[in-house]
Amino acid sequence: MEQRTALITCSDRYMGPVLVEKFLDLGFHVIRHKSTELSEESVNNLVFSVAPIHLLIANFAESPMSSSVSDINNDEWIDLFNKLVHPLMYFVRAITPHMLERQSGKIIAITSAAPLRGVPNNSAYCAARGAQNSFIKAVGLELARKNIQVNAIAQNYIKNETYYPDGFISTDKFRDHVKRNVPTQSVGSAEETAALAAYLANENCKHIVGQVIPLAGGWTT
């Protein structure tokens, strides 16, 4: 049986490390993409050099731009889209022709549940993450007939060093916040995200397409 190749973007941050570990354990040949290489040219060069790619895990992260809508900074808004939205499109656009040629493939985006509910004073971040989710839904429906399954894991309150590091989630203030706002009253493990990604990547998982799946302890549905 041919060994499947997984390309994991920004493998050095956000959910990247746990995803790399999970898919190595599953026997994938894992291509580790560095978070500093997000330009269209670097993406095209990488995909060209490592194809064929059976699985793309699009894992991008950037700190939320917290401000009122009247104080949104143009440069920070553009930077969010440059780091979250545009690279997602670059990777999906570059990889899709190879998957179409084989009539098979998997694309999983690790996004956010924030735009599913909305977060006051984080409208720019919600806009960028919402663009990711909408893109995945549309591409998922477009490619479903070609045996390519495209989905997103829209997470929140999941332990990771970018948004929910140990030092932050261990504070009494944050624990009280979680008890008030998250139905499970807990923060999920990074391994839960990896396990869900592994299920979506399974070759027998064919009927889930174009979905933005909340993984947020019931914070949004």
Q: What are the distances in angstroms from CA 209 to CA 105, 132, 142, 151?
A: 12, 15, 10, 6
Asked whether residue 84 is domain-assigned, the answer is yes
Number of domains in the chain: 1
Q: Look up the pTM and report it.
A: 0.96
Residue % of the chain over a pLDDT of 70: 100
CATH of the domain at 10: 3.40.50.720
The mean pLDDT value for 78-94 works out to 97
Q: Cβ(104)–Cβ(50) under 8 Å? A: no
Residue-number span of the structural domain to which 84 is assigned? 5-215
Asked whether residue 116 is domain-assigned, the answer is yes
Q: Cβ(156)–Cβ(220) under 8 Å? A: yes
Average pLDDT of the chain, as a whole number:
96
Dihedral angle computed from the Cα positions of residues 46, 163, 24 and 28, in that order, rounded to the nearest 10 degrees: -50
Alpha helices in the chain (DSSP H): 16-25, 40-50, 74-84, 86-102, 114-117, 123-143, 166-169, 172-181, 190-201
Strand, helix or coil at 187? coil
More confident residue, 2 or 159: 159
Asked whether residue 220 is domain-assigned, the answer is no
Sequence letter at residue 102: R
Asked whether residue 158 is domain-assigned, the answer is yes
Q: Give the pLDDT confidence score for residue 63 in this predicted structure.
A: 81
Q: Give the pLDDT confidence score for residue 214 in this predicted structure.
A: 98
Cβ neighbours of residue 139 closer than 8 Å, sequence gap 6 or more: 92, 96, 107, 150, 210
The 10s digit of each residue's pLDDT in 147-180 is 999 999 999 999 999 899 999 999 999 999 999 9
Name the one residue in this structure whose structure tokens are 């990247």: 16
More confident residue, 96 or 35: 96
Residue % of the chain over a pLDDT of 90: 94
Asked whether residue 50 is domain-assigned, the answer is yes
The 10s digit of each residue's pLDDT in 40-73 is 999 999 999 998 999 999 999 988 778 999 999 9
Q: Give the pLDDT confidence score for residue 64 in this predicted structure.
A: 77
Asked whether residue 221 is domain-assigned, the answer is no
The mean pLDDT value for 189-210 works out to 98
Which band of pLDDT confidence, cut at 50, 70 and 90, is reported for residue 32? very high
Q: Give the pLDDT confidence score for residue 36 in this predicted structure.
A: 81
How many other CB atoms are found less than 10 A from the CB of residue 153?
26
The 10s digit of each residue's pLDDT in 101-142 is 999 999 999 999 999 999 999 999 999 999 999 999 999 999
The mean pLDDT value for 193-214 works out to 98
Q: Cβ(89)–Cβ(112) under 8 Å? A: no
